[in-house]
Chains A and B, each alone.
Chain A
């Protein structure tokens, strides 16, 4: 390159970064039993520019606010998508939101995957676990659309809990059809499942990427990312060419409140996407934080 493997972005917070704007739910897709994707459109004005990897603070009025990653790529039909897992009061209320209802949105916040500087000959290894596929979805769409015959390949390696929990199955099939190497493994097999059973790192063994000319993007539970990043480095990828998406208790979204502090980082402002080499490698190993 000089290829961009450093996360980039962090546009200046918009006016009223602490005040939720009303957005209307214009699309609602149940992905799996406990994950819903909402398409949101601003009630007034234009959709702010965003990049995959960034997040918004979504408000279920009367219930609370929560940080949710953007799961779509820019350039859609005026709406931004968020895939939400129903795990608590706020996310439950958001998952229950119907088309036509209004939710609050602040953002977009944070850094993004910064794939603009990745060369055409570079292999891109995307490793996602569970709902961690959502922040990568828009980026993979972009990567797959940009790939050319004879250029670098896109490897999408996904770990899910079980076959009935596989997110974005239609996207996975679409990416495969468009030439990406897509592999999915599950922790728990089921009758009729013909694919791999095991941890997501096992998929790295069979992915024939060229480590010296590869970059990697990883998102999922932190323990999964710890094992994944180690496995990527063991395969020969330079730690500085690996990016991870961190998750903390984001509240203000603009680096003021300190709730999301992780070592020297305020994850809402300096993350969520950070370089593994020199940044996340130490943080993912820290205890008592």
Chain B
């Protein structure tokens, strides 16, 4: 593993507090990737095989529609992760993920990661719990946004 990648993973918020050996396990399946502004990290419908740990820059999760502009549904920044559809079938990305500016990530290959997690159930459980907390947080945030809080002030 490169020292740079180890340093990034060791200080990455998503991995904070996970069991010893997690950084080494993920680093063995990862590589550093950079994206120019406007380029896609993930493309809707293609095979979901990568977990991106965002190190630098901001990423828009977006959806396209025929004849419509791209619609940004969420953004993700340093310390957060992009790409969770590799967790369960059909292993296809559900949204596009686009770099809003220069972006740097540690890209973890999901097949490699699964193999290693099979051999290390302690790390596997901790990592899945962490992924579940990310999913829960995004679900709750989505529900709050469904309330359209700023669009319904009192009526006078």
Where the two chains meet, the residues of A that have a C-beta atom closer than 8 Å to any C-beta of B are 64, 66, 85, 87-91, 129-131, 159-161, 165, 185, 187, 189-191, 193-199, 201-202, 205-206, 220-221, 223-224, 227, 247, 249
Contacts and interface: CB of A to CB of B under 8 A. Distances in A.
Contacts of A227: 144
Interface in B58-84: 58, 60, 62, 69-75, 77-79
Contacts, number: 80
A195 B57 CA distance: 11
A54 B60 CA distance: 39
Nearest to A58: B156
A199 to B, nearest CB: 5
B70 to A, nearest CB: 7
Contact of A66 (B60, B71, B141, B156): B156
B149 A89 contact: no
Contacts of A247: 154
Contact of A129 (B62, B69, B149): B149
B150 A191 contact: no
B144 A189 contact: no
B20 interface: no
A198 B75 contact: yes
Contacts of B149: 129-130, 187, 220-221, 223-224
B117 interface: no
Contact of A87 (B58, B77, B79, B154): B154
Given A130-B150, A193-B72, A198 B156 contact: no
22 contacts: A66-B156, A87-B153, A87-B155, A88-B156, A130-B149, A131-B150, A161-B148, A161-B150, A187-B148, A189-B72, A189-B73, A194-B100, A194-B101, A196-B58, A196-B77, A197-B60, A197-B74, A202-B141, A221-B149, A221-B152, A221-B153, A247-B154
Interface in B63-112: 69-75, 77-79, 100-101
